[in-house]
A and B are shown apart, each in its own frame.
Chain A
């Protein structure tokens, strides 16, 4: 059987990839995809823990996370479209109207 540490390491690497993506990429959609990667990295941890502990709580939480992530994508893409209609760009460096 694959030990728990392998799953947790993979999950941590995926999560870190997501964080780096959010911090370095400039396209709003890529940033959003990186955030989704972070959430799915967490899901992997949850399922691994759930299996290891022999409890179903983690798997139930994964379903909640997937449902919420779907709702969040719907809202997020709608916001991105609303912005694109007014501004014709998705580069978050060009979103600079608000600053002091």
Chain B
């Protein structure tokens, strides 16, 4: 066996996805009316990639001279990204038909963004981190502006692009300073020698800039300004993809950097705790004032970034496992909610306010029940998976003597119940004002039901997933 083969085999899921993406690219250029072919190729390719990634979870290793981590957490995150991409592609087909923008390039961009995310989760070197982030972001800039005729979509895309590129500048400066102060860009090297360099100002400045860049990507306060505008203006399934996949990808880097050793530096733990508390408070309080459902979910995603940062600030295994559990649960509940909103949305960003959902419980009981499941799960009400994610994270915070942070988190979860359940209340206890139409295909409906069932399953049997998560690092 030659030297290269074991390396290639160990990054099987990534290679499969790249092959599928390139195949779709080829199909797009040689077949006329290629959209259905691209759609089914993408769906099949993602399912195969999930199948290849699952057995690799039990293996731990690294490939290509320590540039990539393989197996374990990298595969776990890959599976989250594949699921996000799969749900987004299925939901977006109905949505794009409504908006007269059914082009196969959409699936292609989702696939390449997913390749970027997988690179981020597998990165063991800051160069790969940079490349992964950029591959993902560049695809997402285009996806946000995919409805070319809509000014809202254009505006969202430009805002995302300018602020995203701005954040990349900080991230890159951080990487440069870390390289300058340690002479290495290897994440393994940096985490192992953190204490040695902790007194160097150049090194700490580099860590600080890196945190700024990543906080932009997860949308944590005070770097959250772009989140509501971009999520509201982008095509609805894309907003869901950004809120789940892109956020999980940025968290995979933060966990790789900080959850191992870095947090032992007390200052960084405190810094993350402050970011977490600010995100939870601002996200939840401002979400109350929203009338647009997409914008409400955007603020709620800021709050969720805060919950997950809480687990990171705790700096123990409980908090870290809590984040991993929560990211998977969050992918299902948030994509499910965005999917349902995309069913309801009508031509020209209409039917997106709370009032448009009035009486949905009687006119469209099927959609209303599913929406209620996702809202209950987002609010963290048992027996849905959202509850256990939050539970593990807050237990981690209490164990790390950050009880104040756990209290802020619990209080803010109570605040969040108000606006999530307001949607449920509007659906069941208000009369319909206008005729509601919802358009969706059978496959989309099946995937939404599946997401809801998985949330219920994870909520009833959380320990089965947690047993896998504890072996990841």
What residues of chain A have their CB less than 8 Å away from a CB belonging to chain B?
A: 8, 15, 18-19, 22, 28, 31-32, 35, 38-39, 41-42, 45-46, 48-49, 52-53, 55, 57-58, 60-61, 64-65, 68, 71-72, 75-76, 78-80, 82-83, 86-87, 92, 95, 97-100
Nearest neighbor of B139 in chain A, beta-carbon distance: A75
Question: Does B311 count as interface, using CB distance less than 8 angstroms?
Answer: no
Question: Does B148 count as interface, using CB distance less than 8 angstroms?
Answer: yes
Which residue from A35, A52, A87 sits with its C-beta under 8 Å from B166? A35
Nearest neighbor of B296 in chain A, beta-carbon distance: A100
Residues of A within 8 A of B295 (CB): 100
Q: Which one of B159, B172, B175, B180 has the highest number of Cβ atoms from chain A below 10 Å of its Cβ?
A: B172
Residues of A contacting B: mostly: helix
Bound-state CA distance A85–B177 (Å) is: 40
Which residue from B138, B155, B165, B228 sits with its C-beta under 8 Å from A97? B155
Nearest neighbor of B233 in chain A, beta-carbon distance: A98
User: How many pairs, one residue from A and one from B, have CB atoms within 8 Å of each other in the complex?
Assistant: 127
**Closest approach, in angstroms, between the C-beta of B97 and any C-beta of chain A?**
21
Q: Are A58 and B179 in touch, CB under 8 angstroms?
A: yes
Residues of A within 8 A of B142 (CB): 75, 78-79
Q: Are B183 and A53 in touch, CB under 8 angstroms?
A: yes
Bound-state CA distance A67–B180 (Å) is: 21
Residues of A within 8 A of B168 (CB): 39, 72
Bound-state CA distance A100–B287 (Å) is: 10
**Closest approach, in angstroms, between the C-beta of A92 and any C-beta of chain B?**
7
Q: Are B161 and A75 in touch, CB under 8 angstroms?
A: yes
**Apart from A60-B127, A75-B138, A76-B141: 19 A-B pairs, beta carbons within 8 A:** A8-B180, A18-B169, A19-B169, A35-B169, A41-B173, A45-B176, A58-B179, A61-B175, A61-B179, A64-B127, A65-B130, A68-B130, A72-B134, A76-B165, A79-B141, A80-B158, A86-B150, A95-B159, A98-B152
Residues of B within 8 A of A31 (CB): 162
CB-CB contacts below 8 Å: B100-148 with A: 127, 130-131, 134, 138, 141-142, 145, 148
Bound-state CA distance A95–B184 (Å) is: 42
Nearest neighbor of A90 in chain B, beta-carbon distance: B158
- Given the known interface contacts A61-B179, A68-B130, the answer about A83 and B229 at a Cβ–Cβ threshold of 8 Å is no
CB-CB contacts below 8 Å: B181-240 with A: 183-185, 228-229, 232-233
Q: Are A42 and B173 in touch, CB under 8 angstroms?
A: yes
Between A and B, 17 residue pairs with Cβ closer than 8 Å are A35-B166, A42-B173, A57-B127, A61-B179, A64-B130, A68-B130, A72-B138, A72-B168, A76-B141, A76-B165, A78-B142, A79-B142, A79-B154, A92-B162, A98-B152, A98-B233, A100-B295
Nearest neighbor of A22 in chain B, beta-carbon distance: B166
Q: Are A87 and B169 in touch, CB under 8 angstroms?
A: no
